[in-house]
Amino acid sequence: MSRTVVLVDAVRTPFGKAGSMYSGTRADDLMVRAMRGLLERNPKVSPDAIEDVAIAAATQTGDQGMNLGRSASLLAGLPNTVPGYSVDRWCAGAMTAMTSLAGAIAIGSIDIAIAGGVEHMGNHPIGEGIDPNPRFLAERIVEQDALAMGATAERLHDRFPQLTKERADRYAYNSQMKTAAAYAAGKIQRDLIPTASRIPEMGWGIATVDEPPRPTTTMEGLATLKTPFRPAGRVTPGNSSGLNDGATAALLASEDKANELGLTVKAKLVSYAFAGVEPEVMGYGPVPSTIKALAKAGLSISDIGAFEVNEAFAVQVIAFLDHFGIADDDPRVNPYGGAIAVGHPLASSGIRLALNLARAFEEHPEVRYGLTTMCIGLGMGGTVIWENPHFSGGAK
């Protein structure tokens, strides 16, 4: 038994720079705001109709601990009868929350659920509180570089010399420009949930737009940035995603339940796959995960007409594009910009990708299939293939 799973809606808080506009805001409160905003946008869904909640965080301590799926649900006002659980697949947390719930919906154990992801990298710096087993390095299970994401990005440059710093900088520049254009056209703001922010020195405010974008970025400026991961390296703060705070939430349902409740359908889930690669070249993970997801769907890369690729590092995105013979500036890829501009609050980003893809589907009824994909720490990739419910025939 397998049922069609649909994305009904998705939202997110504005993303902040780590420890900046959300420096006095708790991570779980960011998650609660996203969940409440999602439910407010979908009044046909009664809170007591939600059958499960899966919330992701990469650092599950402090205000990101205590089983966010359950604790954030209670804080958001969902009834005590709604269960919840937390998810950790590092950067692919929200993506995994969606696919885990989708599996439950597909086999009929639930009909409607909320997936989410949050990361407050100001409260929880990357790597905080972890204790890598010394065998990783002592027994050469991984190289030292595998434990530093920026170093794995440098390794991608090493492995593929055609992926030059100039190409990475150009990709990063285009991400900033596309984000600025999307903001100017009002395409990003419509899915941002205004969120209370508190900076101890300045008091309370309301965040309504992303804090990280740099619309004044230039290629000349990018060329001058230092490379923190190795001397004379190629990975810089300008061609990487930043350290960010933010939360995302998505409403998933069976197609039958969505139709029964009269809900919108923004995308239909076709297939998904996760795959592993050498931890030292973590950023290459989306290549094998996409190959697997395409095979499971019975599709080829030529069938995909819209792409949302998480921009952890520019080199990681262009490595993916190179493998599949896609140009660095292909207009089908990240049309509203990506994480290099708006930010990458680790476990939350998978839903941001699905949200952006759903908007691209609305604008392009000639596109039938799209995909969301991302690299994952310690050498993994995740890919979800979606079908456009607005497809009207014609091009792919």
List, by residue number, the catalytic residues. 91, 344, 375
Query: Can you tell me the distance from the alpha carbon of 280 to that of 284, in angstroms, rounded to the nearest whole number?
Result: 10
Q: How far apart are CA 25 and CA 19, in angstroms?
A: 9
Q: Are 294 and 388 in contact (CB under 8 A)?
A: no
User: Measured between alpha carbons, how far is 306 from 346 in angstroms, rounded to an integer?
Assistant: 23
Structure-block tokens of residue 299: 């599709």
Asked if 376 and 382 touch (Cβ cutoff 8 Å), the reply is: yes
Q: In angstroms, rounded to a whole number, what is the distance separating the alpha carbons of residues 55 and 222? A: 35
Side-chain-side CA neighbours of 249 within 13 Å: the count stands at: 28
DSSP-assigned beta bridge partners for residue 252: 7, 113
Separation of alpha carbons 69 and 153, rounded Å: 32
What is the spatial distance between Cα 229 and Cα 153, in angstroms, rounded to a whole number?
9
Place of tokens 């009904």: 8
Closest residue by Cα to residue 282 from 168, 152, 157: 152
DSSP characters over 227-290: -SSSTT-S--GGGB---EEEEEEEEEEEHHHHHHHT----EEEEEEEEEE--GGGGGGTHHHHH
Can you tell me the distance from the alpha carbon of 146 to that of 155, in angstroms, rounded to the nearest whole number?
9
- Contacts of residue 154, defined as CB under 8 A and 6 or more positions apart, other chains included, come to 145, 229, 230, 233, 234, 235
Distinct helix (H) and strand (E) counts, the chain: 12, 12
From the CB of residue 349, how many other CB atoms can be counted at a distance below 10 Å?
34
Amino acid at 319: A
